């Protein structure tokens, strides 16, 4: 069961390990990213940052979709982490059970503008956000579970 799909360009870090994992009661983190899935060094560093209470899977976007559709993943309590709006959009389009997405952190990059203290979106990101909103996907900005969630639609 997917407990949360989170967009955070840092993927696994302190907020994920120390705040989100216990708050959600997840037992498995899934990093869905094509580049990271091919990079053994980054996988090793993410594994060092994960909480001891959860296992870490690093998969390509296509393999993540296949894994999440597989009945064997259903008993797991999953926190799915992506580092881009595009990857979250792809997962949400392929997996109808994804009805909400958490925007935890997207740092400044070329062409991006701030929509909150920790979220910077490009025009391409905003186009994808609008398609998710039209589909009825709930999009919240919240860095840690104790923060008050803010609907992304009110910020763009």
Find the length of the chain: 156
Give me the pLDDT at residue 123, please: 97
From 10, 13, 43, 142, the catalytic residue: 13
Across residues 1-30, what is the average pLDDT? Answer: 96
pLDDT in tens, 115-125: 999 999 999 99
pLDDT-based confidence at residue 154 (cuts at 50, 70, 90): very high
pTM, rounded to two decimals: 0.96
- Positive or negative, the CA dihedral 57, 63, 64, 70 is negative
Give me the pLDDT at residue 33, please: 98
Give me the pLDDT at residue 54, please: 97
Examine the residue annotation and report whether 89 is marked as an active-site residue of this protein.
no
Give me the pLDDT at residue 44, please: 96
Cα 138 from Cα 154, distance rounded (Å): 12
pLDDT-based confidence at residue 152 (cuts at 50, 70, 90): very high
Give me the pLDDT at residue 76, please: 97
pLDDT in tens, 46-100: 999 999 999 999 999 999 999 999 999 999 999 999 999 999 999 999 999 999 9
Residue carrying the six token digits 């216990």? 22
Q: CATH assignment of 2-154?
A: 3.40.35.10
The conformational region for residue 27 under phi > 0 = left, psi -120 to 50 = alpha, else beta, is alpha
């Amino acid at each position: 069961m997917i407990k949360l799909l989170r967009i955070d360009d840092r993927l696994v870090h302190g907020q994920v390990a120390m705040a989100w994992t216990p708050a959600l009661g997840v037992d498995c983190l899934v990093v869905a990213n094509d580049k990271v899935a091919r990079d053994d060094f980054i996988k090793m560093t993410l594994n060092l940052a994960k909480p001891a209470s959860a296992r870490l899977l690093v998969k390509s976007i296509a393999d993540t979709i296949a894994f999440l559709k597989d009945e064997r993943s259903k008993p797991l309590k999953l926190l799915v982490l992506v580092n881009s709006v595009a990857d979250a959009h792809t997962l949400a389009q392929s997996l109808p059970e994804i009805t909400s997405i958490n925007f935890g952190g997207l740092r400044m990059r070329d062409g991006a503008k701030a929509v909150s203290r920790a979220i910077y979106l490009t025009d391409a990101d905003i186009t994808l956000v609008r398609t998710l909103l039209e589909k009825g996907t709930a999009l919240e900005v919240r860095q840690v579970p104790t923060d008050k969630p803010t609907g992304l639609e009110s910020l763009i």
